[in-house]
Structure 1
Amino acid sequence: MASQSQGIQQLLQAEKRAAEKVAEARKSTVSPSGKARRLKQAKEEAQAEIEQYRQQREKEFHQKEQAVMGSQGNLSSEVEQRTRKKIQVMQSSHQKNKEKMLRQLLTIVCNIKPEIHKNYRIM
């Protein structure tokens, strides 16, 4: 928050200097065509200064953004790597225990012991 306030202050100072240059150009006692030329030049200088400052701030912002996004990129790659390992462990466990479980299931299903239900009454 403080850096935003500081950035705004710097931008305001740059605009103030630009306004001073424009006012100085207006005050000059040069001929009307020279005065217009100087005024135009002062405006161009002011715009160039403002644009340079804006580019500098954007560059700083992109650097900070890249630093934050870079760390997030590392986290996502770590999470993805862990997920792959867990999936691999589950698949190996499945392959390892598949035969055993099939045998148990078939044993339970195929070994039928016929019994009369306890609630069945012979009349």
Structure 2
Amino acid sequence: MASQSQGIQQLLQAEKRAAEKVTEARKRKNRRLKQAKEEAQAEIEQYRLQREKEFKTKEAAALGSHGNSAVEVDRDTAERMARIQDSYRGNRETVLNELLRRICDIQPEFHANYRVAG
């Protein structure tokens, strides 16, 4: 009986060692899968950045003149607005004085179509 008990003990120990080996193998496998996933993510990110850079280059080439024209239009608009403002400031007094002179200098006269009844 003692030998049977000892044999069962050895079998249980062997089974325990096998279970530990399987568990360790699963852990290694999971670590390797995680590492492979991280490597794939890094590779995907690198590819995405490369494609994005190529897209930006092509976009700049296609829209280069368009982007510059927008800046040029904005600059031209600002210059025109500045000229209009300067013209307004320079001519405001003259125009107001002329308007006031015409409004206040009333010279009564008959209209050309006026007929005296009688």
Q: Give TM-score scaled by structure 1 length.
A: 0.47
Q: Which structure is larger by alpha-carbon Rg, 1 or 2?
A: 2
Given the two structures, how large is their TM-score scaled by the length of structure 2?
0.49
